[in-house]
Chain A
Amino acid sequence: MTTTTLGYEDLPRLMSLMTGDEKHSPAATSTLDVVWTLYDQILDVDPADPDHPDRDRFYLSKGHGPMAFYAVLAVKGFIGVEELPHWAGYESHLGWHPDRVLIPGVEIGSGSLGHGLGMAVGAALALDARGQEGARVVCLLGDGELDEGSNHEAIAFAARAGLDRLTAIVIDNQSARHGWPGGVHRRFAVEGWGTSTVNGRDHAALREALTTVKDGRPHAVVAVVERR
């Protein structure tokens, strides 16, 4: 496994190993630039020690379409590139939805929408109870996933509890069946979250939005990408 010879430009090729498509433009996967920016510039995680207690926790709540996630994990050395072509096979560790039990460095198993944010709230509470320094909890959702009411239980509670190690990222590809009038961010802002809305393809903007200071409240970053 190597972490030095692969980079962002390799992601389309790595995704093609899974999908079989000749070419894979970044636009084909809504999460690609966010996940890349997280692993390349934001998250404090180490493939050599994926369970380190001080690490940042990344909860991929929106677990479907994980090719970009797997490709980034391969580039960063959490999984081997040679695993990618076998994805979703019987013996593969890489399914259509990630399984934390099978993949080192994957924090949660997901697939069914609306589970990750509540779990992230629990992780943040546990880290607070332990007095753990650092260790952000970053949860990635989609604007369609926000339809699930479980998210709104978590959104309301997280701000009341002052969980400032928690960041929610919402990939907004305008796929919610009935939309979010006024913008996704308002659902968080009204409950007391800090919010920002950025271009979900702009690495510099994502980096700035995801580099939050602890100010007593959780933060939501709405990453807007092409309409689905």
Chain B
Amino acid sequence: MDTMRERFGTVASELLDSDPNVAVVVAVIGAGRFADSGALHRHSDRVIDVGIREQLMMGVASGMALEGMRPIVHSYAPFLIERAFEQIKLGLGHQDVGAVLVSIGGSYDSAASGRSHQCPGDVALLNTLPGWHIDVPGHPDEVEMLLRHAVACDGRHYVRLESLQNERPVATEPGVIEVVRRHPAPRAVVVAVGPLLDEVVAGVADLPVTVLYAATVRPFDGATLRRELAETPDVVLVEPYLEGTSAAAVSAVLRDTPHRIEALGVANVEHRHYGSAEEHRAAHGLDAAGVRTSVGAFLAGV
């Protein structure tokens, strides 16, 4: 099985081949992927490496979009989303043009690199801007489906890729929350996001909860959540980025119903440890054992 970032390179290279309107803009990081695929050689006028210049990377994407092209902008998450955030706000949103931003690194992929390479706040940041579609796939097949869809659209899309992934794909269409496990008498609905699904399923195996899966978090599929909540309007969110990022979206779905929410995610702390992504996932309570503990406590009302 390939990784999600490998699938991204494969699919983006195919899209460059099939659509003369597609461009890829990078700032060194990720350029090798397109050199290896041959896309850089075949489409040197549309695979643009601006050097280590992230403000320019986003500015170039804006200018290409203003000319009607469909830029895919790619880098490590903090350099893609945080470093030139005003360029995202003004160069894309304010100009009323679109692009597809594809990040790697997530919240803690390169845990040993330290804080500079960790980006748990990316989804929350983009959530402050209007009109963004945000995909958090958990499997390479989902990456392919969501990326092809995002590039075929003309709006502002963010596709967040991590190194950790699920065993099997679940999402079959963009934007729709899937039912993974429907409990006959659920006491809560657990919404697992992207690469955390396998941990969540393992963690709540013996708990009376329904498990849903979201590979797209903006727009948030409130209709499916609402339908599955039925008579148990208690929700546990499990997100692989900043805790609480989608809590307001869930509250909006349930604004007319008394409900409880437990929003699990990456804690908003400066976590000064190195090690591996798996270790950081566990440190934030997002592995199976951590999810089991948190959901158990939520059901117990503590």
Interface residues of chain A, those whose CB is within 8 Å of chain B, are: 99-101, 107-109, 111-112, 114-115, 117-130, 149-150, 153-154, 156-157
Contacts and interface: CB of A to CB of B under 8 A. Distances in A.
Interface in B34-76: 45-46, 48, 50-51, 53, 55-56, 58-69, 71
Interface of B: 23, 25, 45-46, 48, 50-51, 53, 55-56, 58-69, 71, 84, 86-87, 90-91, 94-96
Interface of A is mostly: helix
Contact of B64 (A109, A114, A123): A123
Given A115-B90, A121-B56, A153-B56, A129 B66 contact: no
B59 to A, nearest CB: 2
B67 A121 contact: no
Given A150-B56, A153-B53, A154-B56, A118 B62 contact: yes
B66 A107 contact: yes
Contacts of B59: 115, 117-119, 121-122, 150, 153-154
A121 B58 CA distance: 11
Contacts of B71: 122
A99 B55 CA distance: 21
A129 B45 contact: yes
B63 A124 contact: yes
A125 B90 contact: no
A150 B61 contact: no
Nearest to B25: A122
10 contacts: A109-B95, A118-B63, A122-B62, A123-B67, A126-B66, A126-B68, A126-B69, A150-B56, A156-B51, A157-B50
A108 B67 CA distance: 11
